[in-house]
Structure 1
Amino acid sequence: MQTSFIDGDLLYRQHTFELPLDYNQPQGRRISVFAREVVDLARQDADLPWLVYLQGGPGFPSPRPDSRSGWLKRALQEYRVLLLDQRGTGNSRVISHQTLAHLSAPDQAEYLSHFRADNIVRDAEAIRESLGVKQWAILGQSFGGFCSLTYLSFYPHSLSRAYLTGGVPSLSRHADDVYQATYQRVLDKNNAFFTQFPQAQEQCRKIADFLLNNDVRLPNGQRFTVEQFQMIGINLGRSHANLPMYYLLEDAFVTASGQETLSYSFLNAMLAEQSYQTNPIYAILHESIYCQQSASNWSAHRVRDSYPQFHYASGKPFLFTGEMVFPWMFDQFACLTPLKDAAAILATKQDWPALYDIEALAENTVPVTCAVYAEDMYVEMDYSLETLRGIPNSKAWITNEYEHNGLRQDGETILNKLIEMGNAIANLPRE
């Protein structure tokens, strides 16, 4: 199914594809997958190469552009762009506590097991074939970069170029290794924030102690806890995050009926920070992106005990956490509690299939260019470089000019750099 509209000088085409839930059973259950094509209106009928955008997450839809700007502006100079709503997100058949409510926990877990990078890539391949495209380029941001290496592992002949931003994973390390590194990066970001705003440490302890001693409810009726408050530290890995974080904290309290309490505006902002509520794939399958023939067993939760300073107690320094999933979230978050048993099943699942083919990547011929952020709080730089050393025809641009969300902050510059690097690789003489 296809519809289209024009906005300014851009043409948008909406595509919906009916694809197998399980590619091992292609005649079985189907799901809808949505993708939005964007092309320069003046060149809508030109034979342009395609670029597929793979969103970060997991569990988030592609961007909804409203202008020719950022990385899209650069891409449209030479590409026809496809914005893929990965299965389970956006206008694809969405996953939420509502849409899974009719299934038992084992059935929820079985269904969700088909929503990792391997099947996202299979969807992209099915869409490529449906559109009659011989090869296309991919741009993977964060988790989209993980998907890109899965694509390069299993369908390299379908790709002309691969551009990765903040998303080069380890190919073989256990989730525990990933979180050991991640907690250290989060410590670094905490230190930088509280060094810049030392008064924020007192305010954070005041908020945390208030939560320990009072039954505080978010606007959705959910009790707000210290652990939930700590999780807004996920923002510290983004560009220019410190000052907005400080502003958010300084207005946390209001006086009502002569008593100081947490303000509704602050609590409403805290609820808005909980994207796990509206995008449950982000919580349920987050650790599985590191799993190949192994279970995560709530890796971030277990590794946290190696960093006891993250366990807040009154009178001790306060620390934020980062992009981590914990089992208690499925007791506390209103939209995750219906999925608690399914999450527990998936956390102990050991037979996750391989996401990467190391031998195939070692024979790579596709130009792969990557923005690797030196101070990335979400993806460990050392692991990224370790991976790239095993992939020929790849090149990393290592920079501390940007944080993990560099593509959103200055996408035109970053994509232009990666395209130029890719052109240089493509023009090198082959041995």
Structure 2
Amino acid sequence: MTSAITFIDSGLKHTPHYFDIPVDHNDPSKGTLQVFAREIDCAKGASDKPWLVFFQGGPGFPSPRPNGNSGWMKRALQDYRVLLLDQRGTGNSSVINHQTLAHLSPQQQAEYLSHFRADSIVRDAEHIRKALGIKQWAILGQSFGGFCSLTYLSLFPESLSRAFITGGVPSVSRHPDDVYEATFLRTKAKNEAFFAQFPKAQGLCQKIANHLLQNEVFLPNGQRFTVEQFQQIGINFGVSDTFLPTYYSLENALIEINGVTTLRYEFLNEMLMQQAFQTNPIYALLHESIYCQGVASDWSAHRVRERFDEFNYRSGSDDSHSESAFYFTGEMVFPWMFEQYQCLQPLQQAAQLLAEKDDWGSLYDANVLANNTVPVSCAVYADDMFVEMDISRETLARIPNSKAWITNEYEHNGLRADGERILDKLIEMSDHTHYCQLTQQA
């Protein structure tokens, strides 16, 4: 373990830590990678507060970079010192992208990437806990970070004092197809709500989609822009306050130059900026595998999409079809992305190998979870487009000492939108669970 130079901002001390950790925790001979974590604590005095480690959503995105003392961090620091973990492959940890994987064959890429799921991330956290000499710590998991939290509760429950989860309680046994059946229905409902609020938007989307079908249009990076890529900005509908900005973008997408209609450069640049797959390929490569235990995903979302014909846009210019309504897609990945996205193209064969992989290990232990004693407090969002509420409730019903705050006040990004209030609520719930445990023991 090495620690870098500490700095102070907004009364908070930031202490970076770097850890050399095995790529494969079951076979250290495969080499090591570096994992970065940032410790945040009040700057005044030596802290004796317990620890809370944060698991970011994704997969494939780094921990937050705090700017000031606000949101969930402000509430957490009242009771804890916080460790922000850059999950392996992200941020300042040994990063995964098309550049760092270029020297490997597709088979080597797929084998290496198979060690970047929640089980490896949790084992990294355990390595760090021991390296820092921490007996127990609390965990906070947002979205995919919540999936990591259930893996942690399955593998190392004795290392945890509390677990807080926001928008991230997965099924511990369902097939990926079940997940995408549910999320396509949620995404359809979000589309209907958007187009009901902005009646003009449907026509604008059809004009943009038809233009893309009838013309070769290129993004600023030289990549051809397609209807399928345009549909993917619907991922924004899963977070709060995105309907209006989306409409504004559509409203200004087309421009006429010398009598010829084209897409404005500003719009195309915005579309490129929204393609996080380009810079964070773990999301595209491993998103479906987060639902896989002993089964292959076999491009689950792509197969399930075929059952929802409304997501397959058809232009009215084709004589064999009438023009279909336009629908945006959501938090799904598809095989064609590795043909179209410039930075994913070099990873196409590895992606296919990962989609075909059917020997994924277990991420959860249902028996351990069924005997859970760690207080688990969860914010479950009733209208969540990414994590289905009914599946979350199904899982929590099988985990003792877990409590859910089910609310329609927030979208999936509730922790970012109103984190101080949400974490305060979860801590209150956890304290009550802990009190009840002590009373029963007495």
Q: When the two structures are superposed, what TM-score results if normalisation uses the length of structure 2?
A: 0.97
CA shift digits 1:9-39 (9 cap, x unpaired): 1100000000000011124300000000000
User: Which structure 2 residues correspond to residues 109-120 of structure 1 after superposition, within 5 A?
Assistant: 109-120=110-121
Q: Paired residue for 2:32?
A: 30
Asked if residue 207 in structure 1 is aligned to residue 215 in structure 2, the reply is: no
SS in 2 for 1:240: coil
Give me the identity figure in percent. 66
Q: Paired residue for 1:9?
A: 11
RMSD (Å), alpha carbons: 0.7
Letter in 2 for 1:117: A
For residues 138 and 65 of structure 1, the distance between their equivalents in structure 2, rounded to whole angstroms, comes to 18
CA shift digits 1:143-182 (9 cap, x unpaired): 0000000000010000000000000000000000000001
Q: Paired residue for 2:189?
A: 188
CA shift digits 1:381-409 (9 cap, x unpaired): 00000000000000000000000000000
SS in 1 for 2:400: coil
Contact 2:298–2:356 under 8 Å retained in 1: yes
User: Which structure 2 residues correspond to residues 27-426 of structure 1 after superposition, within 5 A?
Assistant: 27-43=29-45, 45-314=46-315, 315-426=323-434
For residues 348 and 423 of structure 1, the distance between their equivalents in structure 2, rounded to whole angstroms, comes to 44
For residues 368 and 134 of structure 1, the distance between their equivalents in structure 2, rounded to whole angstroms, comes to 18
Contact 2:10–2:69 under 8 Å retained in 1: no
For residues 276 and 327 of structure 1, the distance between their equivalents in structure 2, rounded to whole angstroms, comes to 13
Letter in 2 for 1:22: D
Structure 1 residue 259, shift from structure 2 partner: 1.6
Q: Paired residue for 2:319?
A: none
SS in 1 for 2:306: helix
Structure 1 residue 271, shift from structure 2 partner: 0.5
Letter in 1 for 2:131: S
Q: Number of residues paired by the alignment? A: 430
Long gaps (5+) in structure 1:
none
For residues 268 and 201 of structure 1, the distance between their equivalents in structure 2, rounded to whole angstroms, comes to 22
Structure 1 residue 97, shift from structure 2 partner: 0.2
For residues 74 and 248 of structure 1, the distance between their equivalents in structure 2, rounded to whole angstroms, comes to 35
Letter in 1 for 2:402: S
For residues 265 and 29 of structure 1, the distance between their equivalents in structure 2, rounded to whole angstroms, comes to 45
For residues 330 and 223 of structure 2, the distance between their equivalents in structure 1, rounded to whole angstroms, comes to 21
Letter in 1 for 2:280: N
For residues 8 and 400 of structure 1, the distance between their equivalents in structure 2, rounded to whole angstroms, comes to 33
CA shift digits 1:215-256 (9 cap, x unpaired): 000001000000000000000111111111111110101222
For residues 301 and 335 of structure 2, the distance between their equivalents in structure 1, rounded to whole angstroms, comes to 9
Letter in 2 for 1:353: G
For residues 8 and 213 of structure 1, the distance between their equivalents in structure 2, rounded to whole angstroms, comes to 53
SS in 2 for 1:89: coil
CA shift digits 1:277-302 (9 cap, x unpaired): 10000000000000000000000000
Contact 2:302–2:334 under 8 Å retained in 1: yes
Contact 2:61–2:90 under 8 Å retained in 1: yes
CA shift digits 1:189-223 (9 cap, x unpaired): 00000000010000000000000000000001000
For residues 251 and 47 of structure 2, the distance between their equivalents in structure 1, rounded to whole angstroms, comes to 54
SS in 2 for 1:427: helix
Structure 1 residue 6, shift from structure 2 partner: 1.0
Letter in 2 for 1:226: V
Which 4+ stretches in 1 moved above 6 angstroms? none
Structure 1 residue 257, shift from structure 2 partner: 3.1
For residues 328 and 63 of structure 2, the distance between their equivalents in structure 1, rounded to whole angstroms, comes to 28
SS in 2 for 1:316: coil
Moved more, 255-264 or 334-343: 255-264
For residues 46 and 353 of structure 1, the distance between their equivalents in structure 2, rounded to whole angstroms, comes to 39
SS in 1 for 2:202: helix
Letter in 2 for 1:430: Q
Q: When the two structures are superposed, what TM-score results if normalisation uses the length of structure 1?
A: 0.99
For residues 102 and 262 of structure 1, the distance between their equivalents in structure 2, rounded to whole angstroms, comes to 37
